[in-house]
Structure 1
């Protein structure tokens, strides 16, 4: 029954695509993914999440592409990632949410942004790939952090309720070393670049590139890869 519901939902809301493949080679979404998942109601989600948002994307609606290989994937118009449970979810209706088995997903695209699973901590988590090459991987991670509210000492009522906020952290891997958490500033990057640091620093200065800018870091690491 659950598979039937999921099939109907995906048929009506998804567009199957596959780069470099003929229609006869394309398989159905559930056949290719073989998803195991969990159905939850919004009330159950609120209970799990403490009643506030712990989702990566501020808007569930949009163009999302779920890839199961480098060239094959599926387009879906409703998707989000739960940072607390590390689950990929889609709203099937007002009363139901489906949690996908994210370990069967190779990567996700939302517009120009690419998200992929990495095991930097104790389990696989979804990170945004800022830059990726044979020498360099720069990732942005996301954490749902609970901010404690405040209580009126006289009435014992909440002035501000507890709520989650999304913290961002960056992780860098150079030349097949382990990932390390890094701050976006010139000193943090240059001290990891060894004998290439002076060349990179000069390049960034000549072209007025900031180590605090994700866009500029793309150009900086593209240059780094040429050294």
Structure 2
């Protein structure tokens, strides 16, 4: 399947059926839940477009993090208002939530008005990461007591296709691939997380005895992501 998603500003004509009286922004739907894409676009002051795919070359695959289909996307605005977005997805290349309108078209949601999102019940929220740049991360676990979060980062990258060295012509298309990594946000510091045994002394140093007993009693392996999250959630209760 070949998809290239061009994310550009939508024309006034394309939006006219949705954006009548959009100046009110979020105030138009204060305290309500929107169930239509039109209302959501208006309330979120969203800007996007649908366009046929046109590019100088093709990229195989997709930058979308989740399989296309009936994904359940709920965007929660900063005032708490919820908006149901049909055919929702997350573009892991541009770091934007989108609604897939057709095979070659997407509508881009305005990130500035979004507090967090629930995509297939996975909470995704923006955190300032490497180089101070904010990006959406899936929240896997949290410990509010210590202001600590375990996060998943998804980034879509492009693997260059083949090129004939003699003719400089392409022999294969570029291809999207998805990279997923664990991160930890500890106070103001956000960094990549590697699951190693030394985390017991690094993250749980004030409760090492209890944590080690929990690991032994439940036959857990801190190097396994599922087990690590169980350990972290247990630690958060101490």
Establish whether TM, by shorter chain, passes 0.5: yes
Moved more, 137-146 or 185-194: 185-194
Find the aligned partners of 2:93 and 2:183 in 1 and give their Cα distance. Answer: 19
Paired with 1:92 and 1:76, the residues of 2 have a C-alpha distance of 11
Structure 2: how far apart are the matches of 1:198 and 1:70? 42
Stretches of structure 2 that go unaligned for 5 or more consecutive residues are: 1-12, 21-28
Equivalents in 1 of 2:33, 2:203: separation in Å?
A: 45
- Alignment counterpart, residue 140 of structure 1, candidates 152, 158, 167: 152
Distance 1:145 1:178, change over 3 A: same
Larger fraction in strand: 1
Counterpart residue number, 1:199? 210
Please give the alpha-carbon distance, in whole angstroms, between the structure 2 residues aligned to 1:156 and 1:30: 44
Cα deviation for residue 146 of structure 1 reads: 2.4
Q: Which has the higher contact order (CA 8 A, sep 6+)?
A: 2
- Which residue among 177, 184, 197 is the counterpart of 2:195? 184
For 2:86, what is the secondary structure of its paired residue? strand
C-alpha distance in structure 1 between counterparts of 2:62 and 2:91, whole Å: 9
Instruction: Pick from 60, 72, 84 the counterpart of residue 75 of structure 1.
Output: 84
- Residues 110/163 of structure 1: CA separation in 2 closer, same or farther (3 Å cut): same
- CA RMSD across the alignment: 3.3
Deviations 1:89-142 (A, max 9, x none): 212344642211112111111233111111212422111100123122000001
For structure 1, which runs of at least 5 residues remain unmatched after alignment? 9-16
Matched, 1:53 2:65: no
Q: Residues 64 and 212 from structure 1, CA distance in 2 versus in 1: closer, same or farther, beyond 3 angstroms?
A: farther
How far apart in 2 are the matches of 1:192 and 1:49? 45
1:79/1:90 contact within 8 Å kept: yes
What are the equivalent positions in structure 2 for 1:94-105 lying under 5 Å apart?
94=103, 96-105=105-114
Q: How many residues are matched?
A: 211
Q: 1:140-171 CA distances to partner (integer Å, 9 max, x unpaired)?
A: 00122222334566887656533121111111
Partner residue in 1 for 2:48:
38
Q: Which residue does 1:63 correspond to in 2?
A: 72
